[in-house]
Structure 1
Amino acid sequence: MAEYEARRLENIKRNQALVKNLNLGLHNSSYSSKAYQKVKDHYPSPAKRRRLYINSPRRSSARIANALAKPPNNPRDMQDDSSDSSSNRPHKSRATKPSLDIDALVTKWSSWTLAAPPPTRDDEGNYHFASHPTFTPNKSPEAIIREGSFGGTYWRPLYSRHLRTTITDDWKELPAEWTEGLDVGKYLTSETVNPEVNKYGVACGQTIEQWEASGWIMHEYDVRGWFQWYCRFWQGRRCPDDNRQVSRWQRCVGEKGRWRRVLLKGYVENGIRSVTDEGNDHQKEDVSPAIHQTCHHWAWEVRQEALDRFWEESE
């Protein structure tokens, strides 16, 4: 044991001498606190690394941010089709300076030429367009305007965040007979929504600003969206946005459209088999006036033939 202890003590002395020569002693005063801190900073603790990872910046969405932003005006105009698939939506540019020249764009909006004849009308009151056989509305733009729509606000001065300019007086491009005798300030350009203007006496849907934020508007063709497109399409304009708009109409009020079937289902559930005047007070109480108004904005109303077919499907 004595020999073993002697070797152990000798090894301790040798190791201590080696540490002293390498300047790595734990109590060596030459190992400064500054040097120690430099090593510590270079190798952060695991806990610190985890905190940095958790708090690292996340990817943000300009579309969601813009959609949540409060629009400059807040009239509720109509219900747009929130079920549009991303493949059918136009690409919405970021909030940067528009690449389109505003003056050239305004000229393009108002300088289109007639490319198709007026629609024909069948015995059920549906309109037919030769260029788009599946598009069969039963309300004309003039009827939608005169019967009362969009709370009277559709053609109000509109500030476009995308274009960074205010659009005014574009209602004047409408055929004169469509607005003859109307109170323009009440039926077309009111700054605030007036539900009493609407055919069914209720406000419904989203604002044009919200449609723009959602990417539903193609500014190259129609800065106000669906109904402005329909007015121009009715008059004979054809443009690259036609198929998209017709597809949206089909999903809303086409033969299998969402709002059309919801409305007809309401008739069946309330036992209503006859359409004598779909705007009368009795039906307003029994079937949602908001859905009626929504369909009206999309150029469709319940007709007897459509109601009869739906009853047959339900029985």
Structure 2
Amino acid sequence: MSKYEALRLENIKRNEALVKDLGLQNDSLTNEDERKSAGRKPPAAKRRKLHPTSQPTRTSARIANSSTQPIYNEDAQNETSVSKRKPRKNQTSNDQSSIPRSPSPQPPPSKDLKTLIASWSSWKPEAPPPTRDVEGTYHFPSHPQFTPNKSPEAIIQEGSFGGTYWRPLYSRHLRTTISEDWRELPTSWTSGLDVQKYLSNKTYNPEINKYGVSCGQSIEEWEAAGWIAHEYDVRGWFQWYCRFWLGRRCADDERQISRWRKCVGETGRWRRTLLRKYVQMGIRSVMDEGDDGDEERAGDVSPVVHQTCHHWGWEVRQQALDRFWVEGK
């Protein structure tokens, strides 16, 4: 026996003697001795009660009412979708400005391809042109909640989508290439522009954009996500806006206006993001007033978000910035 083991046994005997002298014998040991002398079996050990998996003690109406199916929700997303990046080789532009989330696939067109393509240009204007208020905001009587402050003509003339929006577009959904559809635009909108450079360029050129930066994803990516309504506009949002401006009204209007409101409407995420950046940088003037150099500083306020808002038909105006400084909205 090792020295350590002998010392341990000695300590055990000493402790047992001490417990006996103090009258502190363990009742369970005494009862065990009695059971053995009587020939009785020890009682079965009690099994520990297993509790079911814990559930939250509070209930959430949001969780309770949520669907198990993916929901397309453009205003619930991370804001990294619009980023300043170096365009890839042969990268193309798009008319969308955020990373796709849970897709909401569009149903296949109900018309044959020839009839479908013909329908894109066979519509007739149903509404008058919008009116413009003193702040430069446009108003459409048929849809009062749609209030952009950039016209399609201005978006085109000032530089947008890297010059590629109207390029030949192969639709995997329709299995055909769409081209030359820029010709449906009023000639005044494209007057003086190099069409091949500013409208149908096959390669995205950020220098063409008003703010000189690249943003967004390609129309092909949005088609793959299921967010192009081929029945109405094979190129998506901006093509819809052009036709809506010219008086077309269709079943896709509410969806597109809802998307616009979530992006640059009164509480739109990109609009609020941009205005918040002005406040964080201490810039109170959209244009230089000649005494504080705000014009140069304003150019530093996220050109990417500026370009994104521009694609969605909205830009920061002084009245909106003043309100945001005072009201935070």
The TM-score with structure 2 as length reference comes to 0.68
Instruction: Quote how far apart the aligned CAs of 1:75 are.
Output: 1.5
- Please say if residues 283 and 297 of structure 2, whose CA atoms lie closer than 8 Å, have aligned partners that are also in contact: no
1:188-267 alignment to 2 at 5 Å? 188-267=199-278
1:57-206 alignment to 2 at 5 Å? 74-82=91-99, 89=104, 91-93=106-108, 100-206=111-217
- Please say if residues 264 and 314 of structure 2, whose CA atoms lie closer than 8 Å, have aligned partners that are also in contact: yes
- Please say if residues 274 and 305 of structure 2, whose CA atoms lie closer than 8 Å, have aligned partners that are also in contact: yes
Instruction: Name 2:324's counterpart in structure 1.
Output: 310
What secondary structure is seen at the aligned counterpart in 1 of 2:91?
coil
Pair 1:210–1:92, CA change in 2 (3 A): farther
Q: 2 CA distance for matches of 1:246 and 1:125?
A: 19
Gaps of 5+ in 1: 1-71
Pair 1:169–1:83, CA change in 2 (3 A): closer
Pair 1:134–1:201, CA change in 2 (3 A): same
Instruction: Quote how far apart the aligned CAs of 1:112 are.
Output: 0.2
- Please say if residues 81 and 251 of structure 1, whose CA atoms lie closer than 8 Å, have aligned partners that are also in contact: no
Pair 1:290–1:298, CA change in 2 (3 A): same
Superposed CA deviations along residues 240-273 of structure 1, whole A, max 9, x for unmatched, are 0000000000000000001000000000000010
What secondary structure is seen at the aligned counterpart in 2 of 1:110?
coil
Pair 1:84–1:117, CA change in 2 (3 A): farther
Instruction: Name 1:65's counterpart in structure 2.
Output: none
Pair 1:84–1:132, CA change in 2 (3 A): farther
Alignment counterpart, residue 282 of structure 1, candidates 275, 297, 301: 297
Superposed CA deviations along residues 289-308 of structure 1, whole A, max 9, x for unmatched, are 00000000000000011101
Instruction: Quote how far apart the aligned CAs of 1:76 are.
Output: 3.6
> Is 1:293 equivalent to 2:310 in the alignment?
no
1:34-53 alignment to 2 at 5 Å? none
Pair 1:163–1:188, CA change in 2 (3 A): same
Q: 2 CA distance for matches of 1:272 and 1:204?
A: 24
The TM-score with structure 1 as length reference comes to 0.71
Instruction: Quote how far apart the aligned CAs of 1:283 are.
Output: 1.9
Letter in 1 for 2:269: R
Instruction: Quote how far apart the aligned CAs of 1:216 are.
Output: 1.1
Instruction: Name 2:34's counterpart in structure 1.
Output: none
- Please say if residues 168 and 178 of structure 2, whose CA atoms lie closer than 8 Å, have aligned partners that are also in contact: yes
What secondary structure is seen at the aligned counterpart in 1 of 2:120?
helix
- Please say if residues 158 and 167 of structure 1, whose CA atoms lie closer than 8 Å, have aligned partners that are also in contact: yes
- Please say if residues 76 and 207 of structure 1, whose CA atoms lie closer than 8 Å, have aligned partners that are also in contact: yes
Q: 2 CA distance for matches of 1:280 and 1:194?
A: 25
Letter in 2 for 1:289: P
Pair 1:82–1:240, CA change in 2 (3 A): farther
Instruction: Quote how far apart the aligned CAs of 1:92 are.
Output: 4.8
Q: 1 CA distance for matches of 2:135 and 2:172?
A: 41
Instruction: Quote how far apart the aligned CAs of 1:281 are.
Output: 4.6
Instruction: Quote how far apart the aligned CAs of 1:103 are.
Output: 1.3
* Structure 1 or 2: more helix by fraction: 1
Q: 1 CA distance for matches of 2:90 and 2:225?
A: 16
Letter in 2 for 1:305: Q
Identity, % of aligned positions: 68
Aligned positions, number: 239
Superposed CA deviations along residues 161-203 of structure 1, whole A, max 9, x for unmatched, are 1000000000000001100111001110000011110000001
- Please say if residues 164 and 203 of structure 2, whose CA atoms lie closer than 8 Å, have aligned partners that are also in contact: yes
